[in-house]
Amino acid sequence: MKNQNRTVRIVAFTLIVFSVAWIVIRFSANRGGGMDITPGHKYQITYEFEIRGEGDYWVKTYLPISTSRQSVEAVSSNGGARGTMSLNGENKLMRWAGEVFGVSTVHHSFSYQGRDIRFSIDSAVRYEPVFDPALLSELSATDNIQVNHPKIDRLAEELTQDEKSLLGRLRAMYDFVYQIPAIATSDLTDALTTLEQYEASCNGKSRLFVALCRNQHIPARLVGGLILDEGRKKTSHLWAEVYVEGLWVPMDALNGHFGSLPAHYLELYRGDEFLITRKGGVDFDYIYDIRKERINHYPRFAMLDLWSVIDEANIPADMLQMLLLLPLGAFLVSVCKNVVGIKTFGVFLPVLVSLALIQTGLVAGVILFSAIVAVVALFSFPLEKWGVQYTSKIALMLIAVVLTSLLGIRLLHQTQWLDASAPLFFPIIILTIVSERFAKKTEEEGVGMAMNLYGQTLLVTLFIYFILSSTVIQHFVMTFPESILTLAGLNLLLGKWIGLRLTEYHRFYQVTNA
């Protein structure tokens, strides 16, 4: 037995030391990555302008500038036009001019790399009207942003009359604009028309939101750019920014970004501008060609470069990520059971439920989880009283679980606790498995014991959820899959644990001191 324990420890420490050393080697060999384990994307964007006809022409468009959120580089132009660059306020304006006899083309390329940003507006910040002359342009009415129109004025008052905090006012106005039906149109829609027609694209929604903010003397402005999806497109995008305690906070009332902006949003200009203007008299067409390239900071000496596998084999990243998080979750369950002494519905089930919560969101997932358990507990009494056989009982409970899930999803969508884009197939399957395990426990040991086990399982599940939902951990296991060997070594050591569980100390303390 002693030799066996020694062998286990040697193997365990070998696995741990080997995997940790390998990760350190990768950190050293990929110094350019610094400490950034989050893979990003670089985009190559090419403007393609085509002019047909005879005579002279000019084309103007805004070009991106580098900011703290976005990096732009490697600008190049070619074609039969002369290009001149100038500044228009905070924006960079490019003008091409030339003569065309037949067909003339202009290609302008640059690379872009951005990062996600997210702002948290403190609910304790009270609303105070702003009258700063330096922000006059961000507070004033325009032809398309009718700040002082009676309809805008009345709506802003109705939405914000009970809101004392700045966050409350912004959220009330944003939520109203967000729920306006979205339509696809390239026509310019002003704020008032958006309100009257109660439908709009991004430009109408953004103008209405800015008008409402300015009506309340909250500085707001428009921002134009592109949402970078790989391929060829003509559609640009417009969103808003609100001035909060010295910072411009993004708001996209079309795509549901409140105080946040994804990395693939390319900012081209600020203000209510046209992205492209041109001289008439010639036929004109344009397209944006967008190519995406993943930036992996740690490709060298990787045992398995999963980011390359994802790109080359077109495998969903979420699937591989969940696969790698399973061993970590199972180890955490083992710690909770073997070291702490908490009981759960098996080992893998708390891990699977925690992964389901990541997809549904914590609040929505816990509500569904608890509702399903409650329904199973409720139905177990009459079915047991009627003497229904076990298999048929489980099938009947499954029907109840499905109906409960459908009703819960409906209510959670209406309350906006469940995101409309949340993938639900995997979570529902997992929660259905939970219902079967709960029903079996109820059959064997009664509802009281089953509810006690449910409570402990939920506690462990929440603990695992808060660890596995960390983007740092998610990206770490994807970038360094070698870390799974560390978990193997730790599990070997944990498997030889013979000490008291933490929950047992109190009981044995009472015995030894009786």
Helix axes 348-360 and 425-445, enclosed angle (nearest 10) = 140
d(CA 313, CA 308): 8
d(CA 488, CA 334): 12
Residue 123 burial (CB count, 10 A): 11
Q: What is the reported pTM?
A: 0.68
Q: Mean pLDDT score of the chain, rounded to an integer?
A: 85
Which amino acid belongs to residue 510? Q
Query: What is the β-pairing status of strands 40-63 and 117-118?
Result: unpaired
Tokens of 509: 């303390």
d(CA 458, CA 452): 10
Alpha helices in 41-99 (DSSP H): none
What class has domain 42-115+279-295? Answer: mainly beta
Is the domain spanning 117-262 CATH 3.40.50.300? The answer is no
Tell me if 49 sits within 8 A of 286, measured CB to CB.
yes
Helix axes 306-313 and 317-334, enclosed angle (nearest 10) = 140
DSSP string, 371-386: HHHHHHHHHHHHHHHT
Tokens of 334: 């083992």
CA dihedral over 152, 158, 164, 169, signed as positive or negative: negative
pLDDT in tens, 278-330: 887 778 899 999 998 877 778 888 878 887 777 777 777 788 888 899 999 99
d(CA 350, CA 332): 10
Of the candidates 197, 191, 149, 150, which has an alpha carbon nearest to the alpha carbon of residue 173? 191
* Residues carrying CATH 2.60.40.2250, the chain: 42-115+279-295
Tokens of 146: 């009718």
Question: What string of pLDDT tens digits covers the 514 residues of the chain?
Answer: 566 778 888 999 999 999 999 988 888 887 655 556 666 778 999 999 888 888 888 889 999 999 989 999 877 777 666 778 888 888 999 988 888 888 888 888 999 998 889 999 998 999 999 999 999 999 999 999 999 999 999 999 999 998 999 999 999 999 999 999 999 887 899 999 999 999 999 999 999 999 999 999 999 999 999 999 889 998 899 999 999 999 999 999 999 999 999 999 999 999 999 999 888 777 889 999 999 887 777 888 887 888 777 777 777 778 888 889 999 999 999 999 888 888 888 788 888 888 888 887 888 888 877 887 788 777 777 877 788 887 787 788 778 877 887 787 778 767 767 665 556 666 667 766 777 677 777 777 777 788 888 888 889 999 999 999 888 898 888 888 999 999 999 999 888 877 667 766 666 655 555 5
* Residues carrying CATH 3.10.620.30, the chain: 117-262
Tokens of 87: 């500044």
